[in-house]
Structures are given as structure tokens and as C-alpha cells.
Structure 1
Amino acid sequence: MQAVMSAEEMNDWLGKVFPQVGSDFVVESMDGVTTVMRMKVDDRHLRPGNTVSGPSMFSLADVSAFVATMACIGKEALTVTTGCSIDFMRKPEAGKDLIAVTTLLKLGRTLSVTNILIYSEGNDAPVARANMTYSIPPKS
């Protein structure tokens, strides 16, 4: 697969279709198979224990899977999450951005399947792993 738009174009589009969260995430690279995204972590993403919350990590995984799918099919905002499994493996460091490395495992006519590894910036061991399935709307 090859990306149908650049990371810059994707960042611009995300800001338009998801203005409520678009500024939280940055697409650093995408090539149609691997997508790398950053979540700019701030105080609102933290939970007691001075760590990044599970819902924040889920958001990063979800947006990363969405972007990995859009990289191949183009701008289709009505593509939606239909399945997710996430494992929280280590405590993310507060004050460090999260980096998601997403691999597109399968892209069919109606489903996209991705695997996401989430890291605290600067650490080699992942803090979470997720598998996401997206439903792609039929062509009109």
C-alpha cells in the first residue's frame, strides 16, 4: 500500500474534521503501512499516580488506527471503530509525549485491521499495545 496523502495534509484534515482533539495529535509519518503519531501530553491527560490515563492512551490508539486507514483509502470521515483490544503494560511517564507506531495489517473493502504500539517518548519498551478494527463505509 502507498499513502494517498502526506502527513502534513493529514494533520490539516484532522484539524478540520476533529477540531475538538485535532491539536492533541500530530502525524509524524505515514507510508501506507506504518503510521507514527505523537500525542502531546499535558495535565488533562494525567490520572492519579502521575501517569497518563488509559482513556488518553486509547484515544491515541484509536486516532492512529483511523489515520493509518485514511492514509490508504483517502478522506473518509465516516469510517468508524468496530473493535478494539488494548493491553496496558507499563506506566507511561508524566510529562513525556506518547508515540504510537501503527501497522496496517489488513485493508479490505469494508474492514481495516491495525496493530498499535504506544511508547513514552524516549523509552524503547512499549507502555501499551492495541489492535483496532475499523469499518469502512461502502462506496456510493
Structure 2
Amino acid sequence: MSVKMNEDALMIFMREVFHQRAEDFGVDHVAENEITMRLFNDDKHLRPGGTVSGPSMFALADVAAYLVTLAMIGPKALAVTTSCSIDFMRKPAANVDLIAKARLLKLGKQLSVSDVMLYSEGSDKPVARASLTYAIPPST
């Protein structure tokens, strides 16, 4: 299966469908079954103690799983998260972007399963790992 939406197409889609949050994210690279993207880290994503908040980290993992799925199936706004498990492993840096590297592990007609690793930009040590499943709406 080939990539159906590249970096630019995914960001255009995000701005059209999720305009209220699209500017928080950027897509760096798309390949078959893979995406690298970022959360543009700023004060609104921080929690007391000077670290990126759990909800912001979850949002990046969720968006990465969503977009790696759409990269392969095309624009389906109604694909939805059905399952997520996230392990927080280390404190992310507060002064750099958060990077997500997502791999599509399985893509079926009704479900996609992804693994997402989160990193502070410039570090090779993961700050979190998430496993997400998306329900894909039927084709009409």
C-alpha cells in the first residue's frame, strides 16, 4: 500500500478539520506506515514543575496515530480512537518541541493499530510510548 497523503496534505487536512488545534502540530516526515511529527512546545503545554503535561503528550501520540493512519487510507475525518495505552517514562524537556515517531503496525478495513514513541527534540531517549487503535469508518 502506498502513501495517500504526504506532509503537506496532512497539515492542510488538519487546518481544515481541526483548525482549533492544528497549529500546535507539525508533520516532519511521512513514509509508508510511518510518520514523524512534533508538538510545538510552549507555555500552554507545560504543567507545574516545568515539564510537558500528560494531556499534551497524549494529544501528540493520538494525532500521530491518526495521521499515520490517514497517510495510508486518505482523508477520513471520522476515524476515531478506540483504545490507547500510554507509558510515561521520563520527564520531557520544557524548552524544546516534543517529537513523535509513529509506526502503523496493522491496517485493516475497520481498525488500525499504531505504536508511537515520544522524544524531547535532540534526545534519543524516549519520554513516553503509546499504543493506539483507531476505528476506520466504512467506505461509501
Aligned runs of 1:11-50 on 2, under 5 Å? 11-50=11-50
Give the superposition deviation at 1:65: 0.3
Separation in 1, partners of 2:24, 2:2: 25
**Which amino acid is 1:91 matched to?**
K
Find the counterpart in structure 1 of residue 55 from structure 2: 55
- Encode CA deviations 1:52-104: one digit per residue, 9 max, x unaligned: 00000000000000000000110000000000000000000001100000000
Structure 1 window deviating more from structure 2 (127-136 vs 23-32): it is 23-32
Counterpart CA distance in 2 for 1:84 and 1:63 is 12
AA aligned opposite 1:67: L
Q: How many residues align?
A: 140
Is residue 86 of structure 2 the alignment partner of residue 89 of structure 1? no
Deviation at 1:32, TM superposition (A): 2.4
Per-residue displacement from partner, 1:93-132 (whole Å, max 9, x unpaired)? 0011000000000000000000000000001100000000
1:134 to 2:134 alignment: yes
Task: State the AA in 2 paired with 1:28.
Answer: D
Q: Name the Cα RMSD after superposition.
A: 0.7
1:114 and 2:114 are equivalent in the alignment:
yes
- Is residue 73 of structure 1 aligned with residue 57 of structure 2? no
Q: Give the aligned residue type for 2:88.
A: F
Look up the equivalent residue of 2:10 and give its one-letter code: M
Percent sequence identity is: 54
4+ runs of 1 displaced by more than 6 Å?
none
Q: For 1:66, what is the secondary structure of its paired residue?
A: helix
Q: Give TM-score scaled by structure 2 length.
A: 0.98
After TM superposition, the score normalised by the length of structure 1 is 0.98
2:69 alignment partner, SS class:
helix
